[in-house]
Amino acid sequence: MDINSPTAKLVLDDGSQFEGQLFGAPQPVCGEVVFNTGMVGYPETMTDPSYSGQILVLTYPLIGNYGVPGREREDQLLAYFESERIHIRALIVADYSEHYSHWNAKQSLSAWMAQDKIPGLTGIDTRALTKKLRHQGTLLGRIICPDAAEPAQEDPNLQNLVMNAGIKEPIVYAKGSKKIVLVDCGVKNNIIRAFLKRNITVLRVPWDYDFSKEKADGFIISNGPGDPKQCTATIKHTRKALALNTPILGICLGSQILGLAAGANTYKLKFGHRGQNQPCVESGTRRCYITSQNHGYAIETGSLPEDWREWFYNANDQTNEGIKHIAKPYFGTQFHPEASPGPDDTEFLFDMFLRAIGS
């Protein structure tokens, strides 16, 4: 990192401050400060719409050393990113590397962030910062830059972040004869890729689209940012879809929405689960899967109606990681079967869902 880079500071709402050097776009921002424990995958992580409204702390110390890939497309989707743009509000790292080396790299991390007007701070004691977030819980924060007005603090979870995380008009990805409707609450591209490579046609619709009116072989409710209770339109339409007996799969935020539509409750976790190494146990078995995760809310297992069961739970804190109906083809996973980044150990769940739709 250039020693002449300007300094800035991260100020948390408990009053603590962390000073570092700026990279990316030198501009002030505010957001919810969260941490991710993954070792690789920052291009995929930063373009995950589930991070909307958040200042992301990466616990792995060396970031930027393999640069950022190009914007090639496949099946209408960017091949190496999880959406069309960076969704985090800022990036906090211990050691940013401007010099990168990778066969697929086209530019530095800083240059990419500057294009999307995303600031970064390096030289931060991310271990101390992460320990604070684990001890006190997720905190709001601001990045204050020299010669710039301080941003007003706001809690992004009080907003419906899903409104701006996904598409505004339906998109069709034509493949095979079977069709699923995917409700875009901030979907990651690899969820769409997972079905296209299985020869399934995908109709991608906005978060507030009444998908229950569509003739389809199955419904997917995607991941996305923020408090699931803000997605009142999606919950209402999901409740209608539950009366149709059409297979439904909820992923991350989608699982929470499925739970709320069924009558369960959700709550905010102390500091959430974000990374590619979260252990999840399948209920009633001793089988544990290592999963990719990004969420700050969870379903309250005890609030599930009597015809629903916990499907998976987190081995670290026993919080809910999946739900399923005892008789109907309705499933939800709190983790990400599509990975990207992370292990693809649970991608078989997509095949299980396709068996439910008769594919």
Catalytic residues: 252, 336, 338
Place of tokens 């990004």: 294
HEC sequence for the chain: CCCCCCEEEEEECCCCEEEEEEEECCCCEEEEEEEECCCCCHHHHHCCHHHCCEEEEECCCEECCCCEECCCEECCEECCCCCCCCCCCEEECCEECCCCCCCCEEECHHHHHHHCCCEEEECCCHHHHHHHHHHHCCEEEEEECCCCCCCCCCCHHHCCHHHHCCCCCCEEECCCCCEEEEEECCCCHHHHHHHHCCCCEEEEEECCCCHHHCCCCEEEECCCCCCHHHCHHHHHHHHHHCCCCCCEEEECHHHHHHHHHHCCCEEEEEEEEEEEEEEEEECCCCCEEEEEEEEEEEECHHHCCCCEEEEEEECCCCCEEEEEECCCCEEEECCECCCCCCCCCCCHHHHHHHHHCCC
The two beta strands, 17-24 and 119-122, are: antiparallel
Q: How far apart are CA 34 and CA 32, in angstroms?
A: 6
Measuring CA to CA, which residue among 287, 292, 270 is closest to residue 338? 292
Q: How far apart are CA 180 and CA 281, in angstroms?
A: 28
